[in-house]
Structure 1
């Protein structure tokens, strides 16, 4: 009689229990893999298709609780069966919450193991069949302010400042980490106020070569330089009566900074290669992800321009400080990319949402959008834990391996060879090129 198609991974630091479960599973026609530590188990999981995990809880260095949590997030469809010699209600509740389908207390009989294995397979099949697509009807009011979405106190502080500056032309400096949505804040200042019908021009100062930035911002006169065959307006003239958004202002050269200062002070622009100044009426909103005050001290940024720009300052909070807004942002991206890639809005499981809320988000909203975009492409009916990238999921931190005596390292390797030969000492001795007597002595 051949093996069943299922592969089972057994993890236990007790070699005797490991061998016992292995023999029982072999007699039940299952193919089983053995691991004496969590580290070995992760290697097997990475390289082999496993259909059931059987693990002990109490193990040295890294315990079975961490393995169960890791598997729940990295292999969410893999059923888990816990065996333990130290049963407790707290442990049982902990592992059941992590998705363990059965809980077996040592010592147990072959029949008890068989029933637990069958129950785990049946429970996993039932769980797959009962997956429900969550309703996309909004359960809570989605609060939006212009292009900003959120209801946290952190984002509320931002919108309160926007309310105060949207109807005047005070210069605004928006500060925040990369990916926090500084341009969306600038757009909200413009489009939520009375100047919304006027132009909004966005310029990334870091994306334009330094030698071209001046001409792009202020325009140039015919003959100002090689290739200047006609007069051309710059971004300032294009934004006249409206708003000019200067992103990454910290990348502007000192020469450009000097001209910016004059524009802010005199409300006039002089094209490159021209002597004639032109009056303009522009609200300037600048943004940076660097510390401009530190750049001022290093004389990389003009102090007088810094004070001209900081008439009103808006600090955009990082996503880790407004995690309550993540479900609202996720809904926005699900609608955007669901319609784009799947012609419908998709759902997301509660477990996947919990992973998103737990992540630190060093790349902020831009990183979240990227994750949702990828997940929408990879998923079938809804986004689950399996559709999210591994860097969001639980990681096991292994302690540094201590330096071992040569005898212990030798013994570990001999036991590994014995395991590979199904405990055939003659075959193991032949591979190790020692006799059986020496082999027995070295593993005592």
Structure 2
């Protein structure tokens, strides 16, 4: 049966564009350009998803949400919102909205959110007997935030291309860049999305227990094996196994892993019977595995088995246009988790976020914002709530490495050398772009 979607927005051209996009994806779509029209459709029709702007000329998303919940409780609501409406979006999620997407809207992000929304509805309809065994540890669904930078567009393109295939994927990137988020997104857009996603921290598995962890064991097979154990491979059967920091596996364990991947069979420790497994493998590493192969620390055949398709997770400081998108997303998460109503960031914090190097990438930003939300005593996050090392790092970078008398000349020369590309000029001067913009203003350098 075709899923029905109601799109509510006073921007007529946007509504028509989104309707056309979603219809091509197989949905039945109805447009409403104001709350009055929407009310009639909701009262007289049945929709699986209502997608509404949080600001309407004759109402708002909260009233739409309330009407939907009273009229059709099984219908899911997704809000579309600008940065300034973050508090309203958070409050609406507390009142029962499934999620929100930020403006400007990316059609693929909307599609992904709708798919997750419908998946949640389908899971609620499953009988209790169909739920997963509690003995199998399966990672929960993780939100994948779509940015607008070139790096994000390329990342999203690669995810969309490889997700429907059965290819093994190797995700490379620094610690904290969201490699598991990317793996989750690949799984959720794949043909295995209704099957388990099992995440394994390879660095946390002791060498002597690796066989048991990956392939399971039977009771009494070794000292301490007091019960049968389901291994990660069997737990992921039909779905996806995510091998996080796969470079940490010992050479002996790599041999066992390669054999399991090649034969698509596993044998629990102490058992004489092999178990067939059908799994997709996604691996991640913050190491240079190709260099590890050259050193002899990582098996070349396993490397090629895992690396049918590779994706580079960009560092946060390479995604300037995405920084406040992520910041607002983590703010909404923290508000929900801590039951707070922090509405945003003051101007100084936003400037610091854009100039800070973020060595811990997305993980550092998430933790920083969550801590700040917990400490906040006003509606906005201010500088005094941020860790001291962030403030100190920023102060150190705000000083150019040459004398002030030569500063203006050096800036002009750097701009000329880079054909007036501000980003390249800032790198040449060893300062961040925000500092360069301030210096251009200080010296009245017009470009």
Q: Under TM normalisation by the shorter chain, which class is it?
A: 0.5 to 0.7
Residue in 1 aligned with 2:231?
A: 234
Residue in 2 aligned with 1:265?
A: 262
Q: Shift in Å at residue 254 of structure 1?
A: 1.4
Residue in 1 aligned with 2:309?
A: 312
Q: Shift in Å at residue 165 of structure 1?
A: 1.7
Residue in 1 aligned with 2:291?
A: 294
Count of matched residue positions in the alignment of Structure 1 and Structure 2: 268
Q: Shift in Å at residue 168 of structure 1?
A: 2.2
Residue in 1 aligned with 2:326?
A: 329
From 276, 280, 285, the equivalent of 1:279 is: 276
CA distance in 2, matches of 1:390, 1:203: 34
Residue in 2 aligned with 1:148?
A: 144
Query: Is the Cα contact below 8 Å between 2:342 and 2:380 reproduced in 1?
Result: no
The 1:292/1:268 distance shift into structure 2, 3 A limit, reads: same
* TM-score, scaled relative to structure 2: 0.56
Structure 2 portions without partners, runs of 5+: 1-82, 89-100, 114-142, 401-447
The alignment status of 1:171 with 2:171, answered yes or no, reads no
CA distance in 2, matches of 1:151, 1:374: 26
CA distance in 2, matches of 1:279, 1:339: 42
Q: Shift in Å at residue 371 of structure 1?
A: 1.2
Residue in 1 aligned with 2:341?
A: 344
CA distance in 2, matches of 1:139, 1:240: 35
Q: Shift in Å at residue 322 of structure 1?
A: 0.7
The alignment status of 1:216 with 2:213, answered yes or no, reads yes
The alignment status of 1:193 with 2:156, answered yes or no, reads no
Query: Matched residue of 1:206: which SS?
Result: helix
CA distance in 2, matches of 1:317, 1:257: 27
Q: Max radius of gyration: which structure? A: 1
CA distance in 1, matches of 2:269, 2:103: 53
Cα RMSD, aligned residues only: 2.4
Residue in 2 aligned with 1:391?
A: 389
Q: Shift in Å at residue 378 of structure 1?
A: 2.1
Query: Is the Cα contact below 8 Å between 1:218 and 1:236 reproduced in 2?
Result: yes
Query: Is the Cα contact below 8 Å between 1:134 and 1:349 reproduced in 2?
Result: no
Query: Is the Cα contact below 8 Å between 2:323 and 2:354 reproduced in 1?
Result: yes
Cα displacement string for residues 247-295 of structure 1 (whole angstroms, at most 9, x for unaligned residues): 0111111121111111221111122233432211000111111111111
CA distance in 1, matches of 2:309, 2:238: 20
The 1:387/1:274 distance shift into structure 2, 3 A limit, reads: same
Query: Is the Cα contact below 8 Å between 2:340 and 2:373 reproduced in 1?
Result: no
Residue in 2 aligned with 1:436?
A: none
Q: Shift in Å at residue 139 of structure 1?
A: 7.6
CA distance in 1, matches of 2:396, 2:159: 43
Residue in 2 aligned with 1:376?
A: 373
Structure 1 portions without partners, runs of 5+: 1-132, 400-444
Moved more, 221-230 or 306-315: 221-230
Cα displacement string for residues 213-241 of structure 1 (whole angstroms, at most 9, x for unaligned residues): 22110112343211224443201001000
Query: Is the Cα contact below 8 Å between 1:134 and 1:348 reproduced in 2?
Result: no
Cα displacement string for residues 14-37 of structure 1 (whole angstroms, at most 9, x for unaligned residues): xxxxxxxxxxxxxxxxxxxxxxxx
